[in-house]
Amino acid sequence: MKQLRIACLGDSLTYGYEVLREETWVYLAGRELAPMVELHNYGLNGDTTTGMLKRLHADILPSRPDAVLLMGGINDIAYDGSTAPAKANIPAMARSIAERGAVPLICIPPPYIPSPCEEWGHLDNLLKTAAEYNRYADWLRDFCASSGYRAVDFRACLEERVKRDKTKPDRYFLDGLHFNAKGHQVLAACLVETVRLLWGLE
C-alpha cells in the first residue's frame, strides 16, 4: 500500500495555538500513523473558512493529497456573528476535495467553554459565540450524515475521555477554546482511530 498523504486544513485549533509543534494533534497523529500515513499541518491562526477555501485551491489540491481534513468555523462566528459563511464554505470545500478524487474528512469540534479570564471579549459575547459554535457542531454532524462525508468526531472523543477519567472538560483546554497538550493528545488518538478504520490500517 502506498503512503497516504493527508492535509489538515484549519485555523488555530489545527495549527496548535500556544503549544509546541511536537505537542499538536497533527504532529502526534502523524507520528503514530507513520510511515503508512503522512500528515501535513495547514492550520493558520485566525483563519476563516473563506480563507481556508482559498488556500485549499491555491496550496493544497494542487499537491494531490489522498485526503483533506477540514476544521474551521469559529472565526467566522467570532468575526461576523454568523455560521452562514462556514455552512456554505465547508460543503464547497468537501465537494472540491471529492471531485479531485480525495477523501474529505469533516471535523466535529469539541465544545467551546468560555472563561471570564479570556482577554479577547466580554463574557456575554463569548457565551453567545460559544452557543452558536456548539449549534454549528450539531449542524456539521447532520451535514456529514446527510452527505455521506466521513466525520472525525473530536467532540464525541473528548466527551468520552471526560466521562472515562471522571474529570472536567476544561482540563484539556488552555482557555476554553484552544487545546492544551492533554487536549491535543485526545484529538490525536481520535484521528488515529478514524484513519485506521477508514483505510483498514493495522
pLDDT at 124 over 70: no
DSSP string, 173-184: BSSSSSB-HHHH
- What is the C-alpha to C-alpha distance for residues 176 and 111, in angstroms, rounded to an integer? 8
Q: Are 74 and 86 in contact (CB under 8 A)?
A: no
Q: What are phi and psi of 68, to 5 degrees?
A: -130, 125
pTM for the model stands at 0.94
Residues paired with 42 in a beta bridge: 9
Domain count, the chain: 1
- What is the C-alpha to C-alpha distance for residues 141 and 126, in angstroms, rounded to an integer? 23
pLDDT at 104 over 60: yes
* Domain CATH for 128: 3.40.50.1110
- What is the C-alpha to C-alpha distance for residues 140 and 151, in angstroms, rounded to an integer? 8
Domain that holds residue 173: 4-199
Residue 128, pLDDT score: 84
Residue 47, pLDDT score: 97
Q: What is the pLDDT of residues 50-78, one digit of tens each?
A: 999 999 999 999 999 999 999 999 999 98
Angle between helices 123-147 and 84-99 (to 10 degrees): 30
